[in-house]
């Protein structure tokens, strides 16, 4: 899969923030225009200075595994809140370039527009690959929300400081809450629908993302 080369990755914090300001103008929030057949979850894990990124492709909505792709690399950018894309993005884009199937939507372990600058990891990657992306995380990075009702798949809105809706707080089957937001080329409604359809009772995260998380930590 082709990835646009919009910028370099070897930047410092100030350069990274300038790039975010440029890319946020390219983020498009709109309904997905076509039927979803393949959803891909992407997550990364770390071993010392090595990053292992994994993509798990699943049929949608059956969630049967189609393919698993992994890649190892180096990361020199430190963890800085709000700048995760510069720590993981280069390896993730190299991973996506190895995917041979036509993925309709990506779910990434990170945030979309529920981000202080409206350009989290999922939005950043979405602009580079020009594909619909969803950000999904176990903790809230930015915004405010009310606790969802205490039953599975209930949700409430995440809102920014001005009251704009930027995502959903979604209760899973384990009574935990995950935080989802549109990344790029998807809207709030489709983000929620696709995520709910990807959740099973035995997993705390959407199935493709959970499997990517587990496989990114495996030894092979």
Q: 65-99, pLDDT tens digit by residue?
A: 999 999 999 988 999 999 999 999 999 999 999 99
**Using CA atoms, how far apart are residues 219 and 124, in angstroms rounded to an integer?**
28
Whether 193 and 34 have beta carbons less than 8 Å apart is answered as: no
Which CA distances in Å does 96 have to 40, 103, 127? Answer: 10, 10, 13
Which CA distances in Å does 53 have to 34, 44, 87, 159? Answer: 27, 4, 12, 30
- Residue spans of the domains in the chain: they are 13-216
For the ranges 5-9, 138-142, 156-160, 172-176, the lowest mean pLDDT is seen at 5-9
The token pair at 183 is 């990344």
Q: Which CATH number fits domain 13-216: 3.40.630.30, 3.30.2170.10, 1.10.10.10, 3.40.50.720?
A: 3.30.2170.10
Over residues 3-7, the mean pLDDT reads 81
Q: What is the pTM of this model?
A: 0.96
Q: What percent of the chain has pLDDT over 70?
A: 99
Which CA distances in Å does 54 have to 6, 30, 43, 50, 204? Answer: 22, 27, 6, 13, 18
User: In this predicted structure, what is the pLDDT of residue 220?
Assistant: 61
Whether 42 and 200 have beta carbons less than 8 Å apart is answered as: no
Residue 203 vs residue 5, higher pLDDT: 203
């Amino acid at each position: 899969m082709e990835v646009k080369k919009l910028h370099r990755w070897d930047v410092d914090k100030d350069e990274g923030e300038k790039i975010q300001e440029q890319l946020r103008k390219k983020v498009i929030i709109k309904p997905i225009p076509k039927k979803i057949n393949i959803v891909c979850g992407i997550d990364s894990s770390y071993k010392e200075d090595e990053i292992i990124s994994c993509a798990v492709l699943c049929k949608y909505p059956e969630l049967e595994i189609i393919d698993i792709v992994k890649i190892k690399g180096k990361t020199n950018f430190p963890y800085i809140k709000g700048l995760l894309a510069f720590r993981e993005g280069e390896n993730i884009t190299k991973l996506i370039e190895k995917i041979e199937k036509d993925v309709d939507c990506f779910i990434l372990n990170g945030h979309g527009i529920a981000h202080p600058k409206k350009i989290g990891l999922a939005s950043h990657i979405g602009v580079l690959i020009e594909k619909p992306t969803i950000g999904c995380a176990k903790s809230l990075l930015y915004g405010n929300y009310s606790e969802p009702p205490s039953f599975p798949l209930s949700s409430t809105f995440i809102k920014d400081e001005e009251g704009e809706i930027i995502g959903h707080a979604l209760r899973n089957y384990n009574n935990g809450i995950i935080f989802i937001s549109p990344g790029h080329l998807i809207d709030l409604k489709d983000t929620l629908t696709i995520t709910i359809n990807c959740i099973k009772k035995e997993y705390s995260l959407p199935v493709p993302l959970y499997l990517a998380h587990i496989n990114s930590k495996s030894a092979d």
